[in-house]
A and B are shown apart, each in its own frame.
Chain A
Amino acid sequence: MKSAVIVFPGSNCDRDMMVALEAATGRPPVAVWHRETSLPADLDLVALPGGFSYGDYLRSGAIAGRSPVMADVKARAERGLRVLGVCNGFQVLCEAGLLPGALMRNTGIHFVCRDVHLRVDNARTAFTNAYGQGQVIRGHVAHHDGNYFCDDDTLTALEDQGRVAFRYCAADGAVTPDANPNGSRNNIAGVLNAAGNVLGMMPHPERLIAPELGGTDGRGVFDSLVAALADA
Chain B
Amino acid sequence: MPDNPTKTQGAQTPVADTPTEPAVTADLAAEHGLNAAEYDRVLATLGRTPTLTELGLYSVMWSEHCSYKSSRRHLKKLPTSGPQVIQGPGENAGVVDIGNGQAAIFKMESHNHPSFIEPYQGAATGVGGILRDVFTMGARPVALLNALSFGAPDHAKTQHLVSGVVAGIGGYGNCVGVPTVGGETRFHSRYNGNILVNAMAVGLADADKIFYSAAAGVGNPVVYVGAKTGRDGIHGATMASAEFSEDSAEKRPTVQVGDPFTEKLLIEACLELMATDAIVAIQDMGAAGLTSSSAEMAGKGGVGIRLDLDRVPTREDAMTAYEMMLSESQERMLMVLKPGREDQARAIFEKWELDFAVIGALTDTGRMTLVNGGRTVADVPLDSLTDDAPNYDRPHVPSEPRPLLRPDEVPAADDMGQAILDMVGAPDLASRRWIWEQYDHTVMGDTIARPGGDAAIVRVHGTNKGLALTADCTPRYCEADPFEGGKQAVAETWRNLSAVGAEPLAVTDCLNFGNPERPEIMGQFVGCIEGMAQACEALGYPVVSGNVSLYNETEGQAILPTPTLGGVGLIRNLDHRASPGIKRAGDAVFLLGETRGHLGASLYAAHALGHDAGAPPPVDLDLEMRAGGLVRQEIALGRLDTVHDLSDGGLAEALATLMLAGDGYGLDVRLPNDPDGQPLAAHAALFGEDQGRYLVCLPADRAEAFAHACAEARVPVERIGDTVAGPQLAIAGVATLALDDLRAAHERFLPTLMA
Contact = CB atoms under 8 A, between A and B. Distances in A.
Nearest to A114: B437
Contact of A10 (B264, B437, B444, B446): B264
Contacts of A20: 445
A134 B352 CA distance: 44
28 contacts: A9-B261, A9-B353, A10-B261, A10-B265, A12-B175, A12-B443, A16-B443, A55-B259, A55-B260, A55-B261, A55-B262, A56-B175, A110-B167, A110-B437, A111-B167, A111-B170, A111-B438, A111-B440, A113-B174, A142-B174, A142-B442, A204-B442, A207-B443, A209-B445, A212-B459, A213-B446, A213-B448, A214-B442
Residue in A12, A54, A214 with the greatest tally of chain B CB atoms within 10 Å: A12
Nearest to B265: A9
Nearest to B577: A212
A16 B445 contact: yes
A52 B264 CA distance: 10
Contacts of A167: none
Interface in B444-484: 444-448, 450, 459
Contacts of B264: 9-10, 12, 52, 55
B63 to A, nearest CB: 32
Given A113-B438, A140-B442, A12 B261 contact: no
A113 B442 contact: yes
A140 B442 CA distance: 9
A12 B438 contact: no
Interface string A98-114: 00000000000011111
Given A10-B261, A13-B177, A110-B167, A206 B442 contact: no
Nearest to A208: B442
SS of A interface (majority):
mixed
A12 B445 contact: no
A206 B444 CA distance: 10
Nearest to A181: B437
A206 B443 contact: no
B574 interface: yes
B448 A52 contact: no
B439 A113 contact: yes
Interface residues of B, number: 31
B127 interface: no
Interface in A1-36: 9-10, 12-13, 15-16, 19-20
A140 B440 CA distance: 11
B176 interface: yes
Nearest to B262: A55
A146 interface: no
Interface in B215-268: 259-262, 264-265
Task: Name the 5 nearest CB pairs between A and B, nearest first.
Answer: A12-B177, A55-B261, A16-B445, A52-B175, A142-B440
Given A52-B174, A54-B261, A112-B438, A142 B443 contact: yes
B596 interface: no
Interface of A: 9-10, 12-13, 15-16, 19-20, 50-52, 54-57, 110-114, 140, 142, 144, 204, 206-207, 209, 212-214
B444 A15 contact: yes
A218 B591 CA distance: 39
B441 interface: yes
Given A9-B352, A13-B177, A56-B175, A113 B259 contact: no
A66 to B, nearest CB: 15
A56 B264 CA distance: 13
B258 to A, nearest CB: 11
A10 B175 contact: yes
A20 B574 CA distance: 20
Contacts of A55: 175, 259-262, 264
Nearest to B259: A55
B170 to A, nearest CB: 5
Contacts of B438: 110-113
A113 B261 contact: no
B448 to A, nearest CB: 5
B505 to A, nearest CB: 21
Given A110-B167, A212-B459, A214-B442, 6 more contacts: A15-B445, A52-B261, A52-B264, A55-B260, A55-B262, A111-B440
Contact of B445 (A113, A114, A206): A206
Contacts of A10: 175, 261, 264-265
Contacts of B444: 15-16
Contacts of A54: 261
Interface in B147-164: none
Contacts of B170: 110-111
A12 B176 contact: yes
A111 B175 CA distance: 11
A56 B459 CA distance: 28
Nearest to A56: B175
A125 to B, nearest CB: 24
Contacts of A15: 444-445
A206 B442 CA distance: 10
Interface string B331-354: 000000000000000000000110
B93 to A, nearest CB: 21
Nearest to A140: B442
A56 B175 CA distance: 9
Contacts of B352: 9
A52 B440 contact: no
A54 B262 CA distance: 9
A112 B436 CA distance: 9
Given A52-B175, A52-B264, A112 B447 contact: no
A204 B445 CA distance: 10
Nearest to B434: A110
A54 B260 CA distance: 10
A214 B445 CA distance: 10
B177 A51 contact: yes
A218 to B, nearest CB: 10
Contacts of B176: 12
Nearest to B353: A9
Contacts of B174: 52, 111, 113, 142, 144
B326 to A, nearest CB: 27
Contacts of A56: 175, 261
B442 A213 contact: yes
A94 to B, nearest CB: 19
B442 A212 contact: no
A209 B262 CA distance: 30
A19 B170 CA distance: 25
A114 B450 CA distance: 10
B441 A113 contact: yes
A60 B91 CA distance: 37
A214 B447 CA distance: 9
Nearest to A212: B448
A108 to B, nearest CB: 10
A59 B444 CA distance: 24
Contacts of B436: 113
Nearest to A144: B174
